[in-house]
Amino acid sequence: MRIALALIAALALLTPNHALAIEKLVTVGGEATVAVAPDAAVIRIGVTSLGKTAREASDTNAKQINAVFAAVKAGGVDERDIQTSRLSLQPQYDANKAGPARLTGFQVTNQLTVKIRDIGALPNILDHAIAAGANEMSGIEFVVSQQSRLLDQARAEAMADAHRKAELYAQAAGAKLGKALQITDETASPPRPVMALRAGAVPVAPGEQTLRVAVTVSYELVNEVPAAR
């Protein structure tokens, strides 16, 4: 019983000091941005073919998509950067006739996802793909290949921004800034701009992307030591 009372008394003495220590904080936000032009692109391009039978539609589509594949490779795209992303076979019906719908043929769609690492070659590759028979394009996505490195640069700048603000608050409060006790990264994944694209809509302009980093940092505040007289 005496030990329990002694522990309670000790905690009662420590709690005010502990609460005071927790209150000696300054929490600030820091941010930084990096503007950069995309240097790569991802396009989705394909061929839709019709035929009276499934075999006829498939054979026609295979010839056309192979021609598009060859045109993209001839434009300087490595085979590892070309991937089939969609392949579908759908029956087609004539719904305008009276009575039950009549099967009129089949439609085959084959789509390729292509990564173009040299963005300067994009208009030429699109022109050649269209000329080779590509009749379906679902969009283009511009990419910053060194995004991680650029975000790391922005993170360092965001921390410096937070430290600068904290220093100002500490000086205004008559205290010294201590070490950082907590850091929270508030950065959201940067959006990748996607631009709708139709056959013949070249050239394209990638523009510029802005990468933003935001952090919240809690610093310890240390009391100023009075100067010796």
> Where is 180: in which H helix or E strand?
strand 175-185
Q: What would the pLDDT profile of 183-213 be if each residue is shown by its tens digit?
A: 999 887 655 554 444 434 455 667 778 889 9
Q: What would the pLDDT profile of 26-39 be if each residue is shown by its tens digit?
A: 999 999 998 888 88
- Which of 2-16, 157-171, 179-193 shows the lowest mean pLDDT across its residues? 2-16
pLDDT of 50 reads: 94
Q: What would the pLDDT profile of 149-163 be if each residue is shown by its tens digit?
A: 999 999 999 999 999
Among the four given CATH numbers 3.30.310.80, 3.30.450.40, 3.30.70.2970, 3.40.50.10320, the one describing domain 40-143: 3.30.70.2970
pLDDT of 225 reads: 52
- Give the start-to-end residue ranges of the domains of the chain: 24-37+147-223, 40-143
pLDDT of 227 reads: 47
pLDDT of 147 reads: 86
pLDDT of 140 reads: 86
Among the four given CATH numbers 3.40.50.410, 3.40.640.10, 3.30.110.170, 3.90.640.10, the one describing domain 24-37+147-223: 3.30.110.170
Q: How far is residue 45 from each of residues 55, 71, 99, 133, 157, measured CA to CA in Å?
A: 22, 12, 38, 10, 39
Identify which has the larger pLDDT, 24 or 6: 24
What is the model's pTM? 0.63
Q: Same fold for the domain at 24-37+147-223 and the one at 40-143?
A: no
Segment 16-23 shows an average pLDDT of 50
* CA pair distance 23, 65, nearest whole angstrom: 67
> Where is 103: in which H helix or E strand?
strand 102-116
Question: Is a pLDDT exceeding 70 seen at residue 17?
Answer: no
Q: What would the pLDDT profile of 94-136 be if each residue is shown by its tens digit?
A: 876 666 778 899 999 999 999 999 988 998 999 999 999 999 9
pLDDT of 224 reads: 65
The whole-chain average pLDDT of the chain stands at: 82
Q: Helix 54-74 vs helix 122-132: angle between axes, to the nearest 10 degrees?
A: 150
Segment 210-223 shows an average pLDDT of 92
pLDDT of 175 reads: 92
